[in-house]
Amino acid sequence: MSDQPTLAEINERREIATRKIREDTGIDQDMIKNVVHGFYAKVRDDAMLGPIFDAKITDWDHHLGRMCMFWSSVALASGSYDGRPMQKHMPLKIDRTHFDRWLELFAQTLSEQCETPAARHFMERALRIASSFEIGIAAHNGVILGKGERYDPVSSWEPK
């Protein structure tokens, strides 16, 4: 007899977790779509982030669909996203200022689209994602960040 859960047990646990998150936060697929579309509308109009996204994304409908799946997985533990977002971001020339702006626009979108429990739930995850990506991109560029440090390529190379 194996101690490993079956696929059916894993799916059942995921469904229970998703149901609890929905009950606690009010997040559903419609809210995720509104957040994703509202956020990326801001990003596309943003002087700092817009050009970075426009240089990489040619099919916005496809990207928005993927981001809805991503946020469904992140916010609802749905398991609907199977991509590797870190790899997509590694070659980008972005740093702490870009992540701060990304979070600022995301927070603005949440305040427009969500009640407090949902906004808090989304933002907690967005903060972890931004931190993880910033650490990963720094490491990709040869910079190992210490606890509490942020990735700033200019100051990272200055003598201490």
Beta-carbon contacts of 59 under 8 Å, excluding residues fewer than 6 positions away, are: none
Known binding-site residue numbers for heme:
62
Residue 4 covered by a domain: no
Task: Bin 81: left if φ > 0, else alpha if -120 < ψ < 50, else beta.
Answer: beta
The position carrying tokens 């957040």 is: 35
Other beta carbons less than 10 A from residue 69's beta carbon: 18
Residue 25 covered by a domain: yes
Residue 52 covered by a domain: yes
Residue 84 covered by a domain: no
Residue 85 covered by a domain: no
Known binding-site residue numbers:
62
Q: Are the CB atoms for 112 and 21 separated by under 8 Å?
A: no
d(CA 133, CA 127) in angstroms, rounded, equals: 10
Q: Which residues of 22-53 are buried (b: 16+ CB within 10 A; e: fewer)?
A: beebebeeebbbbbbebbbebbeebeebeebe
> In CATH, what number is assigned to the domain containing residue 128?
1.10.490.10
Residue 130 covered by a domain: yes
Q: By C-alpha distance, which of 46, 36, 56 is closest to 106?
A: 36
Beta-carbon contacts of 82 under 8 Å, excluding residues fewer than 6 positions away, are: none
pLDDT tens digit at each of 160 positions of the chain: 568 989 888 888 889 999 999 999 999 999 999 999 999 999 999 999 999 999 999 999 999 999 999 999 999 998 889 888 888 888 888 999 999 999 999 999 999 999 999 999 999 999 999 999 999 999 998 989 988 899 988 654 443 4
Q: Is the pTM of this model over 0.85?
A: yes
Structural domain tally of the chain? 1
106 lies in which domain range? 9-79+90-153
Residue 119 covered by a domain: yes
Residue 160 covered by a domain: no
The dihedral sign for the CA sequence 155, 157, 159, 160: positive
